[in-house]
Structure 1
Amino acid sequence: MSEEEAPRLTRIQQKNRDLILDGALDVFSTHGFRGATIDQIAEASGLSKPNVLYYFASKDDIYRTLLTALLDVWLAPMRGLDPRGEPMAEILTYVRAKLDLSRDYPRESRLFANEVLQGAPHLQPILGGQLRDMVDETVGIIGGWIGEGRLAPVDPHHLIFSIWALTQHYADFEVQVRAVLGEDHDPYAEAELFLNNLYQRMLAV
């Protein structure tokens, strides 16, 4: 059956599916794929195990659904990079968007980190395909700006890696960040100021 022919979910079915995915996100981001069980997902979603298996064939099915949705969200800011825009503004907008994703989707960030730490068994085809292609395209854009003398010369791949590392750290190590800073700090507001200054100094010509 094609996607167009697939029956539309009722409101209750969509609600239950969303409950399962939300509960599974908590379980997977805490325990990783190997440590998670359908029983834990059922408990976290407030539904029975048979009900969970009515909507998803397996734990693997739930996990892949979450990862696919996550990658769409994760890659959206990179897709938004405008080669015709002002280079510094485009880079800083990307940094801010990635930091916002860490603030708004910390469980998703930890889910992705857990998957990669396990060797990315579910993501290898995407990492070496869709993600690599998009990074190559972005590297071409940044390299073009550098070649035109509009950004300081840096390695575009490692610039992207640094943005990923410096923004996702605040989600993946949130407990550590808040323990060090204390509860009276807003780590994301402070991080945005710091990262803006860091990249402006690094990339200014």
Structure 2
Amino acid sequence: MDEPNRPPRRQAIRQANEALILSAAEKVFAEAGFGGATMQVIADLAGLPKANLHYYFPTKESLYRSVVKTIFHIWLEAAETFDAAPGPAEGIGAYIDAKMDISRRHPHGSKVWATEVMHGAPVIQDYLETTLRDWTEGRARVIRRWIAEGKMAPVDPYHLLYMLWATTQHYADFSHQIETLNGGPLSDADWQAAKASVKGIVLRGIGVV
């Protein structure tokens, strides 16, 4: 009777365990870096036997790359607004909103990425040279099109993207600094005000509003 349900149930268990492991790994890698993190500490934080980690992720590097890939693909989804938007006000405005929300929900993943890149990307350099480069060139083409159509000021697309990344990810990577200056974690109202401020500054700077 239960036989037809076994594969979906096993799949659900696998997905739940992988989610637990990735969440724990994000935190440990963010705090200890790749070199300082251990599979045992990650397993303990996830509440799973160490053997389970090696079943889903055979090596620490494979787990680390999965953490990096996860945050990057979340960022990629946030950028889908570029392709569908009629112009920079909608596209860049929605991108800023999405990136700020990600910094709020996934601060550890952002910190893992930042630390990796600051150390010369020893584990994910291939990812930067392929997936990230292709994505960046694609978004730069969209920005150039908006410029050619007279929808925004002529700015360097790459430096605009670098600025957007630095600004939105700052709220994750330097969250402790922001919370200290803010007198505590940002409230819902604080996050809405921050998003509105960042969008206003950027969109005015590129001549959109």
What TM-score do you get using the length of structure 2 for normalisation? 0.87
Listed as ranges, the matches of 1:109-148 within 5 Å are 109-148=110-149
2:194 matches 1:191: yes
1:168, distance to aligned residue in structure 2 (A): 0.4
- Further displaced range: 80-89 or 36-45: 80-89
- Further displaced range: 66-75 or 79-88: 79-88
1:59, distance to aligned residue in structure 2 (A): 1.0
2:70: which partner in 1? 69
2:57: which partner in 1? 56
Q: Is the 8 A contact 1:64 1:122 kept in 2?
A: yes
Unaligned runs of 5+ in 2: 1-6
Q: Is the 8 A contact 2:179 2:185 kept in 1?
A: no
1:183, distance to aligned residue in structure 2 (A): 2.5
Q: Which amino acid is the alignment partner of residue 202 of structure 2? A: Y
Listed as ranges, the matches of 1:17-32 within 5 Å are 17-32=18-33
Listed as ranges, the matches of 1:75-94 within 5 Å are 75-82=76-83, 85-94=86-95
1:201: which partner in 2? 204
Q: Which amino acid is the alignment partner of residue 174 of structure 2? A: F
d(CA) in 1 for partners of 2:132 and 2:200? 28
User: Cα 1:67–1:58, aligned 2, differ >3 Å: closer, same or farther?
Assistant: same
- Further displaced range: 94-103 or 158-167: 94-103
What is the CA deviation profile of residues 36-84 of structure 1, one whole-angstrom value per residue up to 9, with x for unaligned ones?
0111111111122223223321111211122222211111122331366
Q: Which amino acid is the alignment partner of residue 198 of structure 1? A: I
User: Cα 1:74–1:185, aligned 2, differ >3 Å: closer, same or farther?
Assistant: closer
Q: What RMSD, in angstroms, separates the aligned Cα atoms of the two structures?
A: 2.0
Q: Which amino acid is the alignment partner of residue 70 of structure 1? A: I
- Further displaced range: 25-34 or 114-123: 114-123
1:159, distance to aligned residue in structure 2 (A): 0.5
Q: Is the 8 A contact 2:87 2:146 kept in 1?
A: no
SS in 2 for 1:47: coil
Runs of 4+ aligned residues of structure 1 deviating over 6 Å after TM superposition are none
Q: Is the 8 A contact 1:145 1:151 kept in 2?
A: yes
User: Cα 1:11–1:142, aligned 2, differ >3 Å: closer, same or farther?
Assistant: closer
d(CA) in 2 for partners of 1:170 and 1:98? 10
Unaligned runs of 5+ in 1: 1-6
What is the CA deviation profile of residues 118-165 of structure 1, one whole-angstrom value per residue up to 9, with x for unaligned ones?
211222112111111111111111111112221011111101100000
- Further displaced range: 180-189 or 125-134: 180-189
Q: Is the 8 A contact 1:77 1:94 kept in 2?
A: yes
1:164: which partner in 2? 165
SS in 1 for 2:151: coil
Give the paired residue count: 199
